[in-house]
Structure 1
Amino acid sequence: TWATFWFVLPFVVTYPLQLVLVRRPEWRHLLHSINRNWAKFSILMWGVPLDIVRENTKPIPQPCIYVANHGSYIDILVLFYTIPGFLNMMGKDALVKFPLWGPIFGKTYIPVNRRSVVSRGRAFAQAKQGLLEGRPLALFPEGTIGPKPGEELQPFLDGAFQLAIATGVPIVPVSMPLNHKFMPSVAGLRVRHAALRVVFHEAIETKGLTQDDVPALKAQAMAQIADDFVPEGRGIPGPSTWR
């Protein structure tokens, strides 16, 4: 299909270079730059509008932890597109099993099996080290795509908020209320010509907080994200003839 072609083409063209860059940790910021431009190119060639709203009135302190709702497989691309710099991404370990790109994801970002205590601990340590080195982190605290994206949030897991307090970095809530209208999480790959939207909220400072403040911090982030859900984001779209 048209959408698949413009997603796969940049990867095929850059894959040999990615194989070289992934071999050395000091080159992986270049690898992320390739992934970021891959995301930008694909979204541009799909011809879908991307509405970027930055509600922050001052620059977002760095490093920070971006916490976003998760409603579509395109969410990672949208975050790569809209967040500058050498972003660290935490995602489910199933991504490592993707053909060709999976091992690259596993070495450049942070895969995690949320059912494994060992995997969660390793991911927490990797993310903490990245933050201490100045590398911002993005993740989906819902842990998975819920049954009603754009309508209801799944309960947030504690990890992102515990990590933010442990390192003293701010939390930045990110809302993506419409992405599932473009690429819903359904059997098979289904895409529609539908607008994308991402909203960056003001950073929430965590300095001076303790782990006892995790529930309140989590509730504040959830409320800000859910506040951006709109009526046109309700429901999972049906099949489309758009290719």
Structure 2
Amino acid sequence: MKKSLLKIYSAYGLLVFGLTFLILLPFFLLAIFVKPLESLAAPLNHIWARIFFFFLFLNRTKVRFEEKLDSKQTYIFCTNHNSYLDIPTVGLIWHNFKFIGKASLRKVPLWGYMYSRLHILVDRKSMRSRHTSWIAVTQAIQEGFSIIFFPEGGIVSKNPPQMASFKEGSFRIAVEEQIPIVPATIHRNHILLPDRMPLTMHPGIVSMKVHKPIWPSGTGDEAIKALKGQVRDTIEKELEQFYSNEG
């Protein structure tokens, strides 16, 4: 697609993002201010993602599950992260979850307020912020929410789809709370919306594979290390297989 058309498509994508958010905003506000309705946030995220991709002509989304997830089970979802498009992509998973996101997202007008009230933000440079977010995560889990982590700690890989090193926080929580981690592999988002300025959208197919849950085996540092290795290996093998088939 020509650069001029990509600029128009990117501007259109930003418009779709804003308009769909504003349409759903009253319902998000209900989830924020009416505590019993807080669980509405996850279905709203799913609806928003579906509408967003539909109007971007990315409605040919391919989300594959290795096995059906238990709607009553609390999980920690861990996925690779190379694009801002990953957030709505993960929203395609129908489950009651909260995101862990960077504190800088709070600066996004209006949307940042909604995100910070319904999800959990962390400033990784601040020990106090990390401690506060840890408490918030454990409380959310006790309330029955699943948690979505990007274990690389943000969009940090210099050579996507290769992944950066994983932080251990999500795996430590899984071990301490003895809940399973669900790895998820996002395939093409670094091509559809590369992390380069100016942000430029490209048409294509959104593709994600949600893997089988992996339960912690034991407790302590060795169990954390083993779980982190299993999750990373699962995502890396899926990426290798996907791109070998694409080639």
TM-score (norm 1): 0.88
Give 1:196 shift. Answer: 1.4
Instruction: Map 1:1-243 onto structure 2 (within 5 A).
Output: 1-48=11-58, 49-56=60-67, 58-60=68-70, 62-81=73-92, 83-145=93-155, 146-150=157-161, 152-206=162-216, 208-230=218-240
Distance in 2 between residues matched to 1:21 and 1:138, nearest whole Å:
18
Distance in 2 between residues matched to 1:108 and 1:165, nearest whole Å:
25
Q: Deviations over 1:48-94 (max 9, x none)?
A: 221112123x535710100000011011101112x213211101111
Distance in 1 between residues matched to 2:41 and 2:77, nearest whole Å:
20
1:177–1:230 CA contact under 8 A, matched in 2:
no
SS at match of 1:103: helix
Give 1:117 shift. Answer: 1.1
Which structure has more helix as a fraction of its residues? 2
Give 1:17 shift. Answer: 4.0
Q: Deviations over 1:91-149 (max 9, x none)?
A: 11111110011111111000001111111111111111111221111110000211122
Distance in 1 between residues matched to 2:191 and 2:54, nearest whole Å:
17
Give 1:219 shift. Answer: 1.0
Aligned length: 231
SS at match of 2:218: coil
Runs of 4+ aligned residues of structure 1 deviating over 4 Å after TM superposition are 230-234
RMSD in angstroms over aligned alpha carbons? 2.0
Distance in 1 between residues matched to 2:36 and 2:97, nearest whole Å:
14
SS at match of 1:198: strand
SS at match of 2:183: strand
SS at match of 2:212: coil
1:51–1:196 CA contact under 8 A, matched in 2:
yes
Unaligned runs of 5+ in 1: 235-243
Amino acid in the other structure paired with 1:65: I
Percent of aligned pairs with the same amino acid: 27
Give 1:20 shift. Answer: 4.3
1:149–1:177 CA contact under 8 A, matched in 2:
no
TM-score (norm 2): 0.87
SS at match of 2:182: strand
